[in-house]
Amino acid sequence: MPYFEIWHYVLLAGLGVIAGTLNVLAGGGSLLTLPAMIFLGMDGPVANGTNRVAIFAQNLTAITGFKSKGYSDFRLSFSLAMATVPGAIAGAWLGTMVRGEMFNRVLGIILIAVLIHMSIERHRKKKMIAPSEPATMEPISRKQFWLGHLCLVGVGFYGGFIQAGVGFLLMATLHQVMGLDLVRVNMHKVFIVGVFTLVALIVFAARGQVLWIPGLGLAVGNSIGGWIGSQISVNKGESWIRGALYIALVIMAVKLLL
């Protein structure tokens, strides 16, 4: 285990607030925390496993936050979450096997790919921002229901493997495939991620690839961010957060690849 000083835990908690908020609003928070933990001395797979502690805590508070605002549909959320579990188990197992420089290279490539995606989709995602009042929900067709569940098997695999950027895949599946408005997209997203993250965390913990104390420090920040993200609309402050995130991710991607 790398040596951690007090300021390391403070840094992780601070990054966790930003990451948790960003994860709930859109996605990509783990693209900030994962490289940060690697730069603090964690091995890639250990950082990957430790990150799940914070993600799980973040989504518990986000679920509570959404419910406090009158947004919950636990029956559908649970059904969608269960579709991700088989893929999450397989993905997490693969994540425990990818080590050292290979993990860093994979993460660096994913950082760059998601940065490109975020840039291209920035204006479209702003148009997807949900209003502050509940939108009228169109009925989900049988085709949308089953196709969405099928897509979530693959999303679960990616989420179990590396987590970073999985929010974008979930938003695409729930919004574009299943036709849900963004309020309900985010409402279901935090429940789904919470479930498959717990599954992945168990796999990583069984392999001894979780550092619990740093993970709990990060979890404090992510939990605060998860609550904040559930209480505000995506466009409030998102532009500034994403600007800072772009700069940080470019630096981290170059560092990881080189």
115-131 pLDDT, tens digit each: 676 666 655 555 544 44
Q: Specify the higher pLDDT residue, 163 or 16.
A: 16
108: tokens are 């660096």
Decide if 1 is inside a domain. no
List pLDDT tens digits, range 39-87. 888 888 889 899 999 999 988 988 888 888 788 888 999 999 999 999 9
Question: CB under 8 Å to 115, separation ≥6 — which residues?
Answer: 246, 249, 250, 253
Decide if 189 is inside a domain. yes
Decide if 134 is inside a domain. no
List pLDDT tens digits, range 186-206. 888 889 999 999 999 999 999
Nearest to 68 by CA among 77, 60, 76, 80: 60
Residue 66 belongs to what domain range?
A: 6-129+139-257
Say how far apart CA 217 and CA 29 lie, in whole Å: 16
pLDDT of residue 168: 75
Decide if 90 is inside a domain. yes
Residue with structure tokens 């050292």?
100
Say how far apart CA 198 and CA 203 lie, in whole Å: 9
Say how far apart CA 195 and CA 175 lie, in whole Å: 20
Whether the predicted model's global pTM rises above the 0.95 cut: no
Indicate if the pLDDT at residue 137 is higher than 60. no
Structural domains counted in the chain: 1
Neighbouring CB atoms inside 10 A of 141's CB total 11
